[in-house]
Structure 1
């Protein structure tokens, strides 16, 4: 059975803590995996995409990044989380979510649980 996959940066302590929260508190049928251990080719993702933002690779072939990926993850969960995902997809909320997501991504090393290793690299990864 093919399942949807939510991909995050496993090198980032803040991202890992968020993913652990998802695994503990948000019931979803999706796999939640760090991109460093995912089969990116099978998911049709690149390392650069995954370093830039969390990614959603849907079992139906759909793809999404950043807050759109989070909304897709929440859409497959229980009622309160599905509602949060639906709100995140509303055009005005989605428009505000992207700049906020980018700010968090740029500052994730300053977030609770973050470390210097969490900083988004300024040079492309090999």
Structure 2
């Protein structure tokens, strides 16, 4: 049984790449695009568990802590440290708001993501 479901923006190139990474390295979770999950749009990654829904950097931290790889687990723990958590949330917000440009920069699809202003 999966520890939870990772829900990502299926219209976002870097989100798609991150979902492939999660599928390869974190077998304890199910991974679905926002459409597969039944959501019309998504501003940040969700991690849905029996205990609730986590979003953004908080979701990333919880997902990483479930990895079989020690370095990923440790990264997830480090993100929970007070100062690091604040920085992680800011960095996540900036990336999420600019994901269209970032996806294009890396040659990834960026079709339906609204452009940040």
TM-score, normalized by length of structure 1? 0.77
**1:67 alignment counterpart:** 57
Aligned length: 112
* Equivalent of residue 101 in structure 1, options 58, 83, 92: 92
Unaligned runs of 5+ in 1: 41-46
Structure 2 residue aligned with 1:13 = 13
Indicate the RMSD between aligned Cα atoms, in angstroms. 2.1
Q: How far did residue 35 of structure 1 move?
A: 1.1
> For each residue in 1:72-102, what CA deviation from the matched residue of structure 2 results, as whole angstroms up to 9, or x when unmatched?
1111112221111000111111101111111
Q: 2:112, 2:79 → 1: CA distance?
A: 25
Larger fraction in strand: 2
Q: Is the 8 A contact 1:17 1:113 kept in 2?
A: no
SS of 2:32's equivalent? Answer: strand
Give the conservation status (yes or no) of the 8 Å contact 1:105–1:120.
no
| Residues 100, 115 of structure 2: 8 Å contact kept | no
Runs of 4+ in 1 over 4 A off after TM superposition: none
SS in structure 2 opposite 1:117? Answer: coil
Distance 1:114 1:99 in 2: 23
- What is the TM-score with the length of structure 2 in the denominator? 0.82
Maintained 8 Å contact 2:10/2:34: yes
1:3-35 deviations in Å (ceiling 9; x for gaps): 4101100011221011112212x2331101101
